[in-house]
Amino acid sequence: MIKPELLSPAGDMEKLKYAIHYGADAVYLAGKSFGMRTASANFTGEELRTAIEYAHKKNVRVYVTVNTLPRNEDLLLLPEYLELLSELSADAIILSDLGVLSLAKKYAPTISIHVSTQASVVNHLSASMWHSMGADRIVLARELSLEEIKEIRAKTPKELSLEAFVHGAMCMSYSGRCLLSQYMASRDPNRGNCAQACRWKYHLVEELRPGEYLPIIEDDKGTFIFNSKDLCMINHIPELIDAGIESLKIEGRVKTFYYVAAVTNAYRRAIDIIEGKNGQWTLPEELRSEVLKVSHREYCTGFYFRNEDIKQVYEDATSIREWDVVAVVNDCDQDGFAICTQKNRFCKGAVLELLEPFHSPKEVFVSELYDESGNLIDSAPHPQMNVKLKLPHRVLPMAILRQKRD
């Protein structure tokens, strides 16, 4: 099997560092304009320079999203921005608009072109046409089955790379081409400003079509008829590779640094386990458990297997969250005494889990807890306070301590 690229989200510099530290081969991010996620912090010009330099020193590729559907006035600002990306040596530009493609070929001719999932590529002719116009990679529409992807792979040029989403939030609309947010909240989802109106609760009444029903919950909450499950394909990586997907993409530029770290770590370890197994592979249960320890909705396998698994979540839009990050490690000595920054309150006597890159989580019992002055304390109640505690062994900075909720 060809080992696939693991592509992780980087909504800001902190998330970029955690993605890289926990095993991403590449990250995708956006500047302050032209990206499909304005809710994330994103990067100024100088921050882009810093981010790309940092990633390249770690041998990690950086793909920059320029995948909004721009209006006429937006086009005036694009040449300068594309020239900046060229100067900074971004590894690829992710785009979905033919006009943007023409500008990218002119103002950033040395940068690879990746066609965004926003372009809704669902067949081999479309993929081949994009390739003939200069695209190096297609980010496939999420509505495709594995069988359809296999046909696309078989009927497109071998040098054209295929990328697909394997984990994260799904959209109720076709690969994100949605007008619901704009209609309900005057926020254009096709320019990166989605209000996630699909997650809101609705009451649906249809009097003229007897016998055609959508599930309606009989309580005062209404029903969440547009609210999709989250995608999770960690148990099916060999099938993804067999279908010809060369880059496995994790959704989540607006998620937390912990989400990025934990999910990246789980997929990194799963991919590494697969290498050399020739398809004879079973996912360790602990890795399946790892993706349950981040905030998520009920998981499904999307459209990959064309089964009943793609149904919506009708009861509510609340995410499942059973674990909290309580601290991150800043420094640690040879004996395992670590200086940590507190993220959520925890106490002496707590049972925590230690998350490190490329390793199984380890249980940590907090037998003693100190403040930054070395005084014994019973709890760490203040956000961002520095604390000291004993870990099972020496760990590197950016290790994460988490605690299961009661």
% of the chain with per-residue pLDDT over 90 = 70
pLDDT (tens digit, 9 = 90+) per residue, 20-56?
Answer: 999 999 999 999 888 666 556 789 999 999 999 999 9
Range of the structural domain that residue 364 is part of: 323-404
**Domain contains 221:** no
CATH number at residue 332: 2.40.30.10
Q: φ, ψ for residue 209 (rounded to 5)?
A: -130, 70
CATH number at residue 32: 3.20.20.70
**Domain contains 303:** no
> DSSP label at 240?
H
What is the three-class DSSP state of 119? Answer: helix
The Cβ-side half-sphere exposure at 23, using a 13 Å CA radius, reads 24
Say if residue 81 is in the same domain as residue 34: yes
Say if residue 283 is in the same domain as residue 382: no
**Domain contains 211:** no
228 vs 297: CA distance, rounded Å: 8
Query: Quick one: pLDDT band at residue 275, thresholds 50, 70, 90?
Result: confident
The Cβ-side half-sphere exposure at 379, using a 13 Å CA radius, reads 7
Cα angle 278-284-288, degrees, rounded to a multiple of 5: 120
**Residue 191's pLDDT is what?**
62
For residue 247, the surrounding DSSP H or E stretch is strand 247-250
142 vs 171: CA distance, rounded Å: 9
pTM of the complete model: 0.89
pLDDT of residue 333 exceeding 60: yes
Please return the burial class of 323, using the count of CB atoms within 10 Å of its CB with bins 0-12, 13-18 and 19+: middle
The Cβ-side half-sphere exposure at 130, using a 13 Å CA radius, reads 34
pLDDT of residue 319 exceeding 90: no
Say if residue 236 is in the same domain as residue 379: no
% of the chain with per-residue pLDDT over 70 = 84
pLDDT of residue 190 exceeding 90: no
pLDDT of residue 281 exceeding 80: no
pLDDT of residue 193 exceeding 80: no
pLDDT of residue 218 exceeding 50: no
Domain count within the chain? 2
